[in-house]
Amino acid sequence: MKNPYLPIPMILKKAEIETSDRLLRTLELGFKNKEDEESFRFIPGQFCELSILGKGEAPFGIASSPIEKTALKFTINKAGVVTTALHQIEAGSEIGIRGPLGNGYPIDFFEGKNLLVIGGGFAFTTLRSLVAYYLHPENRTKVKQITVVYGARMPGLLLYKDELLEWEKRDDIKLVTTVDWGDKDWKGKVGLVPNVLEEIAPSSENTCAVICGPPIMIKFTFPKLVALRFPNERIFTSLEKRMKCGIGKCGRCNIGHLYVCKDGPVFSYAQLEKLPKDY
């Protein structure tokens, strides 16, 4: 019997602070064992349990895309015991992971449609994975137009800034970045994500919306999507809960009869509207 609770060993190859508040750190992990690398297959939107022995385990969405073969990326918000340890750990050290876990984004359903990606703050990680996946030449034809609206409180708090610059240069993706407070160098929009979305008013025709961000952002953005006539079946979000086992056993992350770790973390609003508001 394979023990799903045993982490597989990874080596921290590189780590980088992402944001000006120094609370977000991106880890690049390489597989210690070749066979683990070969058997590890994931789709954007899935997550892993990262563990530092002695400190514990916590779930993180995979920020790299499946086409970046050699390394897995995770961006860690420093908040609790495990995340603090993940901020302190040095390159070359071993980190355990379990995964990939969860369902991931419905890429089959997205096929042939336009994609509207809406992100806020540090919840941009799996959205980055999704966009990077579709921007790869092998996958670019799988969806039509890609529109990304990404907001943060300040320019310094945006993740993956170099990559955002790259995306801006491309003509096969429309990127709109916005901040609550700009600075003198800021060239993007100033304003809250829901308002910016209203302003650019993307068409809902044959379009799927994916939205990840702080609860308050989601709360105010959702009505805007409804106003743009996005049906609930085509609005998706990725939920976070206190997942411990990640495999539907420990019971901590249920919303109604569904488990965020096993049946999610990605849900459509059509699914969520049938469940108790336990999230």
Shortest approach of other proteins to residue 196 CB, angstroms? 24
5 near other proteins (CB under 8 A): yes
Cα–Cα distances (Å) from 201 to 63, 178, 245, in that order, read 27, 15, 40
Cβ–Cβ < 8 Å for 60, 74: yes
**Which residue lies nearer to other proteins by CB, 100 or 151?**
100
Q: Which of 245, 229, 240 is nearest to 267 (CA)?
A: 240
Stretch that binds other proteins, among 1-9, 133-141, 154-162, 218-226 (CB under 8 A): 1-9
178 near other proteins (CB under 8 A): no
Q: Which of 147, 128, 131 is nearest to 202 (CA)?
A: 147
Cα–Cα distances (Å) from 9 to 44, 77, 95, 201, 203, in that order, read 21, 22, 6, 45, 45
252 near other proteins (CB under 8 A): yes
One residue of 41, 54, 162, 169 binding other proteins per CB under 8 A: 54
Longest dimension (CA), the chain: 59
73 near other proteins (CB under 8 A): no
One residue of 142, 198, 256, 268 binding other proteins per CB under 8 A: 256
Residues 186-245 touching other proteins, rule: CB under 8 A, are 215, 240-242, 244-245
One residue of 13, 32, 140, 174 binding other proteins per CB under 8 A: 32
Please enumerate in sequence order all residues whose Cβ is within 8 A of that of 130, keeping only pairs 6 or more positions apart, or say none.
44, 45, 65, 105, 115, 117, 210
Task: Give the type of residue at 32.
Answer: K
57 near other proteins (CB under 8 A): yes
One residue of 41, 184, 187, 257 binding other proteins per CB under 8 A: 257
